[in-house]
């Protein structure tokens, strides 16, 4: 049962009720049946619950993801992650998210299908971007240049691919998913090292301006 329901704003109620809706969505899908079941289980007035989730399926899914975001932020604050190497920070955050939805694979599968629908794809991308942004910020990333966008795009891709693997993984303790995640992260780390070496400021780089200048005024 949710405590102090009467004192909650609709935004607070959405976050509090979302996990119970996800549990119901395992069997009933992301719809009114799951919403009603969750409300009854948590002692929430059904009409109030419907008002909180008047956005329908995507409102429920978004609240569920935001609930996991909040729990992840609480469990892995920046100070705690700072003790780890960067790849371990990202690995720890993604693994936390997988553990948070363990046992809810069918709800995840259904949510991914709904988010991929043409009418929901734009919002789905925004939700994935927001989660990747939170993870990178917790990991201590302060990039403001193009790296800010590439890092989040890559991480959103890694997380999405791992989540898809996760819902189809029948191995004990999801060991195959963990191995899949490790391979993806290691691949990205190798790429980042190569990119850093290529873009090293001490390295002589090609200059279009210098090249054109030499064409116009050849060295003597």
Query: pLDDT band at 201, cuts 50/70/90?
Result: low
Average pLDDT value for the chain: 90
Consecutive H or E run containing 123: helix 121-138
Residue entry with tokens 């917790």: 138
Does an H or E element contain 101, and which?
none
- Over residues 9-23, the pLDDT tens digits come to 999 999 999 999 999
Return the pLDDT at 190: 77
> Cα(28)–Cα(21) distance, rounded to whole angstroms?
9
At residue 202, does pLDDT exceed 60?
no
The Cα 161–Cα 195 span in angstroms is 23
pLDDT at 217 over 80: no
Q: What per-residue confidence (pLDDT) applies to 64?
A: 98
> With pLDDT > 90 as the criterion, what percentage of the chain qualifies?
79
Checking if the pLDDT of 197 tops 60, the result is yes
Residues 88 and 138 sit within 8 Å (Cβ to Cβ): no
**Where does the pLDDT of residue 210 fall: very low under 50, low under 70, confident under 90, or very high at 90 and above?**
low
| Whole-angstrom Cα Rg for the chain | 22
- Interhelix angle 57-75/10-28, rounded to 10 degrees, is 110
Is 90 exceeded by the pLDDT of residue 196?
A: no
CA 167 to chain centroid, in Å, comes to: 15
Checking if the pLDDT of 211 tops 50, the result is: no
> pLDDT tens for residues 161-186?
999 999 999 999 999 999 999 999 99
* pLDDT for 160 beyond 80: yes
Classify domain 79-220 by CATH number: 1.10.357
In tens, the pLDDT along 100-149 reads: 999 999 999 999 999 999 999 999 999 999 999 999 999 999 888 888 99
């Amino acid at each position: 049962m949710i405590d102090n329901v009467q004192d909650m704003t609709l935004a607070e109620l959405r976050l509090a009720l979302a996990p119970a809706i996800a549990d119901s969505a395992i069997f009933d899908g992301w719809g009114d049946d799951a919403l009603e079941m969750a409300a009854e289980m948590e002692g929430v007035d059904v009409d109030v619950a419907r008002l909180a989730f008047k956005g329908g399926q995507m409102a429920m899914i978004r609240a569920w993801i935001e609930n996991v975001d909040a729990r992840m932020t609480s469990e892995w604050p920046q100070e705690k992650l700072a003790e780890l190497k960067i790849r371990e920070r990202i690995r720890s955050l993604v693994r936390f998210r997988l553990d948070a939805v363990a046992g809810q694979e069918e709800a995840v599968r259904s949510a991914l299908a709904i988010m991929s629908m043409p009418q929901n794809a734009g919002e789905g991308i925004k939700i994935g971007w927001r989660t990747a942004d939170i993870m990178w910020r917790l990991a201590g990333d302060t990039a403001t240049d193009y790296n800010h966008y590439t890092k989040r795009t890559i991480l959103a891709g890694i997380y999405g691919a791992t989540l898809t693997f996760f819902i189809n993984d029948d191995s004990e303790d999801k060991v195959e998913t963990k191995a899949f995640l490790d391979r993806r992260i290691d691949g990205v780390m190798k790429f980042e090292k190569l990119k850093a070496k290529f873009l090293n400021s001490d390295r002589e780089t090609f200059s279009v301006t210098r090249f054109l200048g030499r064409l116009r005024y050849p060295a003597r």
